[in-house]
Amino acid sequence: MDFSHFSLVELAAYISDYLQKNGFDCILSGGACVSIYTENKYKSYDLDFIPYFSFDKKKLTEILAKIKFYPYNRYYKNDTTQYFIEFPPPPPAISNYYVSKSNIIMIKKYNLKLLTASDCVKDRLCSFFYFNDEQCLEQALLVAKDQKIDIEDVEKWAINEGEKEIFELFKKRLKQ
């Protein structure tokens, strides 16, 4: 299959829909969500689909091969696109917080299941909290500025993570 004309969001939607139809319930997370929620103010080239449950990797590889995505190190790659797919281990979680909600958007005729904007912010903040990844803080700010997020929910989560001070930094930078 030729994906050369697909944007990141179009490919994410196609893959999400394709996986769902083939029995793999996954949610898109990571930098691709940031790209989608910020209309590419941040560019990602990997699609992180987190399965809700353990899956048969051999069966997944067979299904992806039907659309010409093949294993490449820990990713799946198709020669017609610059984007690659990764499957972090289940379940979808942000630190100790299990992701129970998703956002489903229709792109062309495909359903894309992805983190909510608030969970996307939490996901990026988590990398800042635990790995001091400044780029992830910037990504969280981009999403929070471009999307309506539940700031109280994000704050409650940050406090539960023991990161109230860093959340206050995030909130201060968000107001700037």
6/117 Cα distance (integer angstroms): 23
What are the tens digits of pLDDT across the range 100-134? Answer: 999 999 999 999 999 999 999 999 999 999 999 99
What are the tens digits of pLDDT across the range 16-26? Answer: 999 999 999 99
Whose CA is closest to 126, among 158, 152, 148, 149? 158
User: Does residue 91 have a cis peptide bond before it, meaning omega lies within 30 degrees of 0?
Assistant: yes
For residues 14 and 82, state if they share a domain: yes
pLDDT band of 172, cuts 50, 70, 90: very high
Which two tokens mark 92?
């979808």
Query: What is the pLDDT at residue 49?
Result: 98
For residues 87 and 56, state if they share a domain: yes
Q: Find where tokens 């942000």 sit.
A: 94
For residues 31 and 100, state if they share a domain: yes
128/144 Cα distance (integer angstroms): 15
Q: Which domain CATH number covers 71?
A: 3.30.460.40
Compute the C-alpha angle 159/117/25, nearest 5°. Answer: 105
For residues 102 and 28, state if they share a domain: yes
Print the domain residue range for 90: 8-114
Query: What is the pLDDT at residue 9?
Result: 97
Which two tokens mark 175?
């107001």
In a domain, 148, yes or no: yes
For residues 110 and 122, state if they share a domain: no
For residues 152 and 89, state if they share a domain: no
Which one of 95, 114, 133 terminates a domain?
114
What are the CB-based long-range contacts (under 8 Å, 24+) for 147-150? 147/37, 147/117, 147/120, 148/117, 149/117, 149/118, 149/121, 150/118
Query: What is the pLDDT at residue 96?
Result: 86
3/6 Cα distance (integer angstroms): 5
Q: Give me the number of domains the chain comprises.
A: 2
Helix 117-131, helix 134-146: angle, nearest 10 = 160
For residues 81 and 167, state if they share a domain: no
Q: What percent of the chain has pLDDT over 90?
A: 95
Is residue 126 within 8 Å of residue 33, measured between CB atoms? no
Q: Which value, in Å, is the radius of gyration of the alpha carbons in the chain?
A: 16
In a domain, 28, yes or no: yes
What are the tens digits of pLDDT across the range 126-165? Answer: 999 999 999 999 999 999 999 999 999 999 999 999 999 9
Query: What is the pLDDT at residue 99?
Result: 95
For residues 75 and 99, state if they share a domain: yes
